[in-house]
Chains A and B, each alone.
Chain A
């Protein structure tokens, strides 16, 4: 990770762990009386959101503000983008306003990489979700959350069994998590109906199962993905109820998990579809920890990209 964070592929295992470690150090400050660090004072971070995602945007906004950066929120809905302005023109406008980092959420896969590679701007680019490609900070915050629940893992996740359940085909969360978790040594199983597994999965270094019940029993981490209702309209599965019966985390499946297992979900949840209310609210669920860890991870990423180093606990102005 030199200048941009576009994909988990931009990170070595060591660099990923370093981000988790930086987040750990930053958490000590967040828990203390003085939550703000002066590190990015005078720097400008732009949240460039072409898709609605209130939670991801406020997570980045909060992270940038805790590092004392100035934050500009640019959302496509109330901007000239909806009038046909191109990504290039929008990006160059923000560049001209002096953005040091651009956090981009876009519906087109590869949009973050285009922004970084095309020579349109010189700012650092952070991918906050591009189409059905990747969402690297989500994977980092998930890894951070897992590590906080399984402290023995430290910098090596081997021995950890993770199952990711749901719409793998269209999920940027799944892609980034597969890349990061396998990079760190975890064993990953994807569980979904065959229609929602990409044809290229053979190349992913994961196991695939169509049978939730048999695959789920010995996992340490169960990661549930959000199912979009339009998938049903496109016949990826026959009905919401059939999906929920086959691949939803109901109370019976929750109870079949190991005692130490945790349940994750990137949010927002469709309660009653991919996850039952009991499962979402059970003591195994770490959904809210994921949200708060999201801020720490995004602070760590901004800190390393714009501050130029890992945070070690020393505060410098």
Chain B
């Protein structure tokens, strides 16, 4: 299938035609007209976004999301590669489960789905899962994480960091000291004290980050810090990088925009783990993302069915959906605030995550010979978030009713158009349920 994207705006402002064939960018120039034509109307053409932190819920919780519906949400959000976290039922701690998720991703065919393997069996924090078997499976797992839970045992964390070196793997740590966060419901501070909700103190994140960067230094391994939320955590990562430790860090869109005072009405749509923090944390995270201390944005897309949020705070599930709003929220927090330009956004949301994970067909500059994993964005559009129009099976967006900048128009996966005019065009998949 051949395609020509007419009148695409490149990051440097040039207006070009881009010819796509056999999954690759065959040519970039002007006056190109081969194959099917898509007029980009001078909207911005960038490499497809890459998410290293997605919860797809399949197998086990297909009532909240499936690989197919999550893939549709990803394509709508401009993502061409997502990484499915391991906390499914059963847990993705064997070659069998990661291959199942990988296969489901292929079948959906809306974005590349790369499974993340569990670090420990059943995410129980006691015993290593068969990391090598998952690495050598068809899914070729390279990222391992117990996300949702912290690998809190320091010796087990050390072993995991060492063990994955054989296949250049990386441990993605959910940094949360469990003993400091028993029963925790939200950020510990002014707001939690007022609301009488058990606190999740910043130090519970910072203590694990401090420990793990020192472990990574000691054993010379790669460490990835998931969803950084605290100003202190940013400082620790900055310190680690200055020492030459191989650490990368991630921030979610919601932690770049939302603060813990939103919890004041006890609406569980704002309940998330790690929790929303304070304005000074948000400022530190934005600064860290702008200066590269934080390498990437990861959505932590966490779908939950209505009944798990339509209840009292304490009973509600942690998590927010985010794939379809990620780009817009990052634009609002980082570009509209003049902290970052579009090239840097592309680095943080596509190039750097693809590099960390080794997704070789993703995160390539838009150039002749690159894989045609692309997305086209109307950077001047504004849209209002309506949870009922989300492609995700779950509707737990904290941005409901908010006006956000920048809209994803079209997405190409390996040279195939999967999203056109903000609509999934592959039949039988996607839509609002």
Q: Does A38 belong to the interface (CB within 8 Å)?
A: no
When distances are taken between beta carbons in the complex, the residues of chain A under 8 Å from B188 are 199-200
- Say whether A200 contacts B311, CB under 8 Å: no
- Say whether B189 contacts A131, CB under 8 Å: no
* B271 CB to nearest A CB, Å: 11
List A83-137 residues whose CB lies under 8 Å from chain B: 86-88, 106-111, 113-114, 117-118, 130-134
Q: Does A172 belong to the interface (CB within 8 Å)?
A: yes
Q: Does B195 belong to the interface (CB within 8 Å)?
A: yes
Q: Give the contacting residue for B310; candidates A118, A131, A170, A204; CB below 8 A.
A: A118
Residue of A nearest to B199 (CB): A199
A109 CA / B312 CA spacing, docked (Å) = 8
List A188-241 residues whose CB lies under 8 Å from chain B: 198-204
- Say whether B189 contacts A87, CB under 8 Å: no
When distances are taken between beta carbons in the complex, the residues of chain A under 8 Å from B311 are 86-88, 114
When distances are taken between beta carbons in the complex, the residues of chain B under 8 Å from A130 are 196
- Say whether A87 contacts B196, CB under 8 Å: no
* Residue from A86, A111, A200 with most neighbouring chain B CB atoms (10 Å): A200
Q: Does A57 belong to the interface (CB within 8 Å)?
A: no
When distances are taken between beta carbons in the complex, the residues of chain A under 8 Å from B313 are 108-111, 114
Q: How large is the interface on A (under 10, 10 to 19, 20 to 34, 35 or more residues)?
A: 20 to 34
A217 CA / B168 CA spacing, docked (Å) = 67
Residue of B nearest to A203 (CB): B190
When distances are taken between beta carbons in the complex, the residues of chain A under 8 Å from B307 are 86
Q: Does A175 belong to the interface (CB within 8 Å)?
A: yes
Residue of B nearest to A107 (CB): B314
When distances are taken between beta carbons in the complex, the residues of chain B under 8 Å from A88 are 310-311
Q: Give the contacting residue for B197; candidates A109, A201, A203, A204; CB below 8 A.
A: A109
When distances are taken between beta carbons in the complex, the residues of chain A under 8 Å from B195 are 109-110, 133
- Say whether A203 contacts B194, CB under 8 Å: yes
- Say whether B266 contacts A113, CB under 8 Å: yes
* A196 CB to nearest B CB, Å: 12
A118 CA / B312 CA spacing, docked (Å) = 10
- Say whether B197 contacts A110, CB under 8 Å: yes
When distances are taken between beta carbons in the complex, the residues of chain A under 8 Å from B198 are 132
Q: Does B191 belong to the interface (CB within 8 Å)?
A: yes
- Say whether A111 contacts B196, CB under 8 Å: no
A157 CA / B314 CA spacing, docked (Å) = 36
- Say whether A114 contacts B194, CB under 8 Å: no
Residue of B nearest to A133 (CB): B196
A74 CA / B311 CA spacing, docked (Å) = 19
When distances are taken between beta carbons in the complex, the residues of chain A under 8 Å from B427 are none
Q: Does B265 belong to the interface (CB within 8 Å)?
A: yes
When distances are taken between beta carbons in the complex, the residues of chain A under 8 Å from B34 are none
A113 CA / B265 CA spacing, docked (Å) = 7
Task: Mark B176-200 against chain A: 1 for CB-CB distance below 8 A, else 0.
Answer: 0000000001001111111111110
Q: Does B315 belong to the interface (CB within 8 Å)?
A: yes
List B193-222 residues whose CB lies under 8 Å from chain A: 193-199, 201
- Say whether B194 contacts A200, CB under 8 Å: yes
Task: Mark A26-69 against chain B: 1 for CB-CB distance below 8 A, else 0.
Answer: 00000000000000000000000000000000000000000000
Residue of B nearest to A108 (CB): B314
A131 CA / B190 CA spacing, docked (Å) = 17
When distances are taken between beta carbons in the complex, the residues of chain B under 8 Å from A107 are 314
- Say whether A199 contacts B314, CB under 8 Å: no
* B415 CB to nearest A CB, Å: 47
- Say whether A109 contacts B196, CB under 8 Å: yes
- Say whether A114 contacts B312, CB under 8 Å: yes
Residue of B nearest to A204 (CB): B193
A198 CA / B185 CA spacing, docked (Å) = 14
A116 CA / B173 CA spacing, docked (Å) = 39
* Residue from A106, A175, A199, A204 with most neighbouring chain B CB atoms (10 Å): A199
* A178 CB to nearest B CB, Å: 10
List A148-199 residues whose CB lies under 8 Å from chain B: 170, 172, 175, 198-199
Provided the pairs A86-B311, A108-B312, A113-B266 are in contact, do residues A200 and B196 lie with their beta carbons within 8 angstroms? Answer: no
* B359 CB to nearest A CB, Å: 41
- Say whether A109 contacts B189, CB under 8 Å: no
- Say whether B312 contacts A111, CB under 8 Å: yes
A54 CA / B189 CA spacing, docked (Å) = 33
When distances are taken between beta carbons in the complex, the residues of chain A under 8 Å from B266 are 109-110, 113-114, 117
List B244-278 residues whose CB lies under 8 Å from chain A: 265-267
A106 CA / B314 CA spacing, docked (Å) = 11
When distances are taken between beta carbons in the complex, the residues of chain B under 8 Å from A198 are 192-193
When distances are taken between beta carbons in the complex, the residues of chain B under 8 Å from A204 are 193
- Say whether B312 contacts A200, CB under 8 Å: no
When distances are taken between beta carbons in the complex, the residues of chain A under 8 Å from B312 are 87, 106, 108, 110-111, 114
Q: Give the contacting residue for A199; candidates B189, B267, B315; CB below 8 A.
A: B189
A33 CA / B53 CA spacing, docked (Å) = 71
When distances are taken between beta carbons in the complex, the residues of chain A under 8 Å from B267 are 117
List B311-345 residues whose CB lies under 8 Å from chain A: 311-315
* Residue from A109, A201, A204 with most neighbouring chain B CB atoms (10 Å): A109
A147 CA / B195 CA spacing, docked (Å) = 27
- Say whether B196 contacts A175, CB under 8 Å: yes
* B124 CB to nearest A CB, Å: 24
- Say whether B310 contacts A117, CB under 8 Å: no
Residue of B nearest to A119 (CB): B310
* B309 CB to nearest A CB, Å: 11
A88 CA / B199 CA spacing, docked (Å) = 25
A204 CA / B191 CA spacing, docked (Å) = 11
Enumerate 11 A-B pairs (CB-CB under 8 Å) in ascending A order: A108-B312, A109-B313, A111-B313, A131-B197, A131-B314, A132-B196, A175-B196, A199-B188, A199-B193, A199-B201, A204-B193
A-B complex: 10 closest residue pairs judged by Cβ atoms: A200-B193, A110-B266, A133-B196, A198-B193, A108-B314, A132-B196, A200-B190, A109-B196, A108-B312, A111-B312
Given A131-B314, A132-B196, A133-B197, 15 other A-B residues pairs in contact with their CB atoms under 8 A: A86-B307, A106-B312, A107-B314, A108-B315, A109-B196, A109-B197, A109-B313, A109-B314, A110-B195, A110-B312, A113-B265, A131-B196, A131-B197, A199-B193, A200-B192
